[in-house]
Chain A
Amino acid sequence: MAEYVGQPVLRYDGIGHVTARTRYVDDIQLPGMLYIKVLTSPVHKGIIRHLDTSAAERMPGVAGVITAKDVPGKNAYGLIPDQPVFTPEHIRYKGERIAAVAAVDEDTAMEALEKIKLDIEEQEPVFDPFKAMEPGAPLVRPEGNVWEFNSGKTRKIRFGDVEKGFAEADVIVEGTYTTATNDHAPMEPQVSVAYIDETDRLAIYTVSQDLYFHLGMLTAIFNLPMNKIRYIGGTVGGGFGSKNDIHCDHVAGLMALKIRKPVKYRLTRREETAYTTKRGPWTFYFKDGVKKDGRIIARYVKTVHDTGGYAGMGPYVVDKNSILVAGPYAIPNVWVDGICVFTNKPPASSMRGFGIINGTAADQLQTARVAEAIGKDPWEVHFINAWREGDLGATQFKVEAAGLIEAMKRAAELAGIELPAHLKAMSSRGR
């Protein structure tokens, strides 16, 4: 019987990596390839009143200029497809794409960008999600600044009866926690190479983490069936969620379709840091009802997620956060209100941990404070409350193959911490 699973088989692509034979997208150079630079919004919020690209088009060395008018299909993409490839009118964050130039080299393309006449009526932006929720706040979006879930303006999780839990609790512990905006910062920046191949199809070398997910979005933008796009990828220099969103393929693809020549569009590290999707910031308010023995019997959580100018994966991240923000604990009464707010910032999206890393960050400080409040060792609180096999989570899923207690026991052992006998005797298989 072959038994490779579990064995330390060496990386299939490892030799490629150590010899630098692995090909990343920026390593691709095609004959006659042109370079793209993109004009982005210099203001956080505004309306484009006038856009004139004719001087840029006439510049020597320029092969083509594209704007919102050159999108043959839907000028919108994203998991919730609300973000334009090029904004036709409304600017919702600084760095939003307005036009793209392809030229013989990046310097020429940048010079051409300066020749584009852009007249923007600047508007007052809103950055603070709490201000954005107030009545009368500047509207990031015409429909309002708070995302509408199927449950209304909050994602509602209602499990048990928190009020009853608070009434029965010995101690109430409250806390507010925030997490920051994070950048994925993969070592390989965003880049795309697009060309028309020998079968007259659009071919794109991509850094996408999700070939089919993005192919679906691209077909809508280009108005092409899936088999008219050859999407080439599979090897990526680090993603961490940054390449879970399209940053270059739509622009490069549209340009190649228009000028029928190979193009490369790559972001500088500065462009990537300033304009691409981020792990959005959060605020968490927790209120726990706790018994003196360490049992958390009620947990109320209110979260506010700042998703920036477009929905993208923001509401999804709030959903995912809401499912698990109460932590890996059997808490009989849970109430979660998850709110997703638009502000005039680059759109927040997925990043390693997908909302759960933020929830864990908050819930683990809160749980440590619960232990402090009742004068117990934090291990005791984690062990007592940890999910056992068959326990229900806050959204009523059943916990299968529970293993937190086993992980904690091993971690304590490796950390040289002697756990009390009654904790060591515990197991995820029963309470």
Chain B
Amino acid sequence: MKYVLSFNLNGLPVDTLVKATDTLLDVLREKLNVVSPKRGCDNGDCGACTVLVNGEPVRACLTIGLTVAGKNVQTVEGLQQDGKLHPLQRAFHEHYAAQCGFCTPGMLIAAKALLDKNPKPTREQIVEGISGNLCRCGTYVEVVEAIQAVAAGKYKE
């Protein structure tokens, strides 16, 4: 049995046929070919699949796809505006906050969720904000520095 799932993806409406058991990660990656959310564990442990649903960071692998019906889903594909990198993208690049890059989309989304709510976080708040995102390359120091730089206004247009 399949259902039509309609939602807003990075500002554009999408419709797709899904099974009741498909996770949001399955829907995005396998049905819609939106591959920035990564399948690191499929178990809620790593954060590589983090996306925004109505502005809230969620683990796409733990979210049933049908629950996003009518909602706004944001992924790294939607971070660039007018062809320009988002300040967090620039900061991550310039701070070497991506090594292999596999955890990076999840990290960027976690960082965006944090700064959207709290534009001037303390170091501790930043660490907390990304502590659910595992990076086996160990870029945490650089990720924190990049987010601090954005929070300090260094990447304003």
Contact = CB atoms under 8 A, between A and B. Distances in A.
Interface string A179-219: 00000111111000000000000000000000000000000
Contacts of A10: 93-94, 96
B96 A20 contact: no
Given A11-B93, A14-B93, A24-B38, A19 B100 contact: no
A187 B76 contact: no
Interface string A216-252: 0000000000000000000011111000000000000
Interface of A: 10-11, 13-20, 22-24, 26-27, 29, 184-189, 236-240, 268-270
B100 A236 contact: yes
Interface in B43-88: 43, 45-46, 48, 75-77, 79-80, 85
Given A18-B89, A29-B33, A240 B98 contact: no
B145 interface: no
B136 A238 contact: yes
Contact of A269 (B36, B40, B75): B40
Interface of B: 29-30, 33, 35-36, 38-43, 45-46, 48, 75-77, 79-80, 85, 89-90, 92-94, 96, 98-105, 108, 134-137
A269 B101 contact: no
B62 to A, nearest CB: 13
Contacts, number: 97
A24 B80 CA distance: 20
Given A18-B85, A187-B100, 17 more contacts: A10-B93, A11-B98, A17-B101, A18-B92, A20-B35, A20-B36, A20-B75, A23-B35, A24-B38, A185-B136, A187-B40, A187-B103, A187-B134, A189-B39, A236-B100, A237-B38, A238-B137
A269 B102 contact: no
B40 A188 contact: yes
A20 B77 contact: yes
Main secondary structure on chain B at its contact with chain A?
loop
A18 B98 contact: yes
18 contacts: A14-B96, A15-B85, A17-B104, A18-B104, A19-B85, A20-B104, A26-B35, A186-B100, A187-B134, A187-B135, A187-B136, A237-B38, A237-B102, A238-B136, A238-B137, A239-B100, A268-B42, A269-B43
B100 A188 contact: yes
Contacts of A17: 92-93, 98, 100-101, 104
List the 8 closest pairs (A to B, CB-CB), nearest first: A17-B101, A237-B102, A20-B36, A17-B98, A27-B35, A269-B41, A18-B89, A187-B102
B98 A238 contact: no
Contacts of B79: 19
Contacts of A186: 100, 102, 136
Nearest to B45: A269
A269 B76 contact: no
A56 to B, nearest CB: 23
B21 to A, nearest CB: 9
A26 B41 CA distance: 13
Given A24-B102, A187-B46, A237-B102, A18 B108 contact: yes
A188 B43 contact: no
Nearest to A237: B102
B99 to A, nearest CB: 8
